[in-house]
Chain A
């Protein structure tokens, strides 16, 4: 059975900060979905391979050619929350700012 601690751990893995109220609400909701999914156990799947993709296409290749106009770089950067010298700017990755 899924516990509140399980949900808290999964939220951390998914980079979500859940409130106590959200943990209380989500735990039984997610547990109910997992409980329903127990019917997956009732099928004999011995020797049945997994399907990752519904259409039998593999290793689709094409030449790696630049097709976009130059100004797309500026358009893409314009959508970023913070930019410096044509790069995406983020807070320190390790530790706190000096």
Chain B
């Protein structure tokens, strides 16, 4: 059985009793039954009590959060509209820029850096009445699936501190699972929101590429990166996504459309929806899927059938090559994006007699081993003589995968599979980099195709560790995807 982290009174941090959802918080603050300041103090106290054991946060913004909360309470008192997230506490993955507040990417190379601007999502959350509580831990530059690559030490899984929370957005997932914040934001390049959401038993969403502005998200792999919410419930994830989505002229890849309406349609159910189980992402031809995880998948399919959906299995042959394509494309883009860390304009500098030596010394001292591996993998995949065999072929597999998914979506509205082949693993269990990469097999296809996907908690394995089910949708298919997620949640697993 699991051995969750506990509060001083012995209550497991994972127990939800007494914790309001974001939707409930916003309603209570708006009506004046609760104050944003009071709710914030409860979260700050919980962070104080539990984050020593969890290390979900790199930095708690207590003073700024108090000012945010006071502003929300003042708006309510003055009869002004407090916004859809009035008083809702939000934790931000520490690769989202916050003006005047440290933004480290859990890397030595950015230790102590304070950005001169806010990310678009930060501006939008504040405008919606949210209270920003702090910056959460991650694998360095979002490269990893466990937070073990953080330069500041890993985050621990609230369900069992001997296990990883998943990654790279492990701090955000653990903070929500432990009730240290109502909701959180993460970024997802190959599964970095969905996999930790699954391993910590919360909801996590990777929206359609371009739905949420990337302005102010520190770049890892620009054609794959997307910001999205973590929340205890599907309805909470929907209100947060509604608040942060929509066109932003400061991100040239931003889709020129307003935010989709999701909350209002959650109750529409799945009657008549055609939902496919992707065989390649459910253990057919790929090893390492735990039997308990596959058992929960089949129960999820049964639950959707009971709710009126039509379920069938479907094959997407190129999905098995997604992993290899991803581990060429993402490092290639990273090797270019991380060229900016050179000790000249910001971040760590190691002095040397000339500029080239200063840059190499700074990069060598500032980057951890996984970041170095990815930069080298990407540099190699792009280098003369290898670019076509590796990077070029990977980009063409990406096209193949997009057309295969498009064909499948002619017959299906949504697709499902496990979010992760396994539940939360112990620290050090995947010390071999390739073994860690293989953990991303189910989440990577949505990044390569740009399509949205959500992870919903659905029961546990035999030991009580959470299992997540992933629902995937075609581009901009968030509304139906959220309805299916709500149906899975309502089935009570």
Contact = CB atoms under 8 A, between A and B. Distances in A.
A72 B254 CA distance: 24
B209 A54 contact: yes
Contacts of A14: 335, 363, 375-376, 379
Contacts of A15: 339, 342, 356, 359-360, 363
20 contacts: A13-B383, A15-B356, A16-B360, A25-B369, A26-B372, A29-B373, A29-B433, A30-B376, A37-B327, A40-B324, A40-B393, A43-B397, A49-B399, A51-B402, A54-B223, A54-B398, A75-B99, A76-B345, A90-B344, A91-B355
A51 B395 contact: yes
Given A30-B373, A54-B398, 18 more contacts: A10-B379, A18-B364, A26-B369, A29-B373, A30-B376, A32-B434, A37-B324, A37-B394, A43-B318, A43-B321, A48-B399, A51-B402, A54-B402, A55-B253, A79-B347, A80-B346, A90-B355, A91-B355
Contacts of A88: 344-345
Majority-rule SS of A interface residues:
loop
Interface string A19-42: 000100110011011101111111
A30 B373 CA distance: 7
Interface stretch (B24-32, B33-41, B110-118): B110-118
Given A45-B400, A55-B450, A95 B354 contact: yes
Contacts of B223: 52-54
B377 interface: yes
Interface string B202-235: 0000001110000000000001000000000000
B479 interface: no
B399 A50 contact: yes
B239 to A, nearest CB: 24
A34 B116 CA distance: 39
B354 A60 contact: no
A1 interface: no
Contacts of A10: 376, 379-380, 383
Contacts of A48: 396, 399-400
A82 B353 contact: no
Interface in B284-308: none
Interface string A82-96: 100000101111111
B259 interface: no
Interface in B112-138: 113-114, 116-117
A92 B353 CA distance: 7
A67 to B, nearest CB: 9
**3 A-B pairs closest in CB distance:** A54-B450, A50-B395, A81-B349
A17 B361 contact: yes
A88 B340 CA distance: 14
Contacts of B355: 90-93
A66 interface: no
B491 to A, nearest CB: 31
Nearest to A93: B355
B214 to A, nearest CB: 12
Contacts of B390: 34, 37, 40
Nearest to B365: A17
Q: Pick the most buried of B318, B358, B377: most chain A CB atoms within 10 A of its CB.
A: B377
A79 B398 CA distance: 39
Nearest to B348: A81
For chain A, which range describes its interface: under 10, 10 to 19, 20 to 34, or 35 or more residues?
A: 35 or more
Interface in B230-253: 249, 252-253
Given A40-B321, A43-B397, A54-B402, A11 B345 contact: no
A79 B354 contact: no
A27 to B, nearest CB: 10
A54 B359 contact: no
B27 to A, nearest CB: 35
B392 A79 contact: no
Nearest to A82: B349
Contact of A43 (B344, B367, B400): B400
Nearest to B326: A37
A50 B343 CA distance: 34
Contact of A45 (B117, B208, B396): B396
Interface string B448-492: 111100000000000000000000000100000000000000000
A39 to B, nearest CB: 5
Interface string B312-348: 0000001011011101100000010001001111111
A22 B252 contact: no
Contacts of B394: 37, 40
A36 B363 CA distance: 28
A16 B376 contact: yes
A77 to B, nearest CB: 9
A29 B389 CA distance: 19
B376 A26 contact: yes
Contacts of A11: 372, 376
B15 interface: no
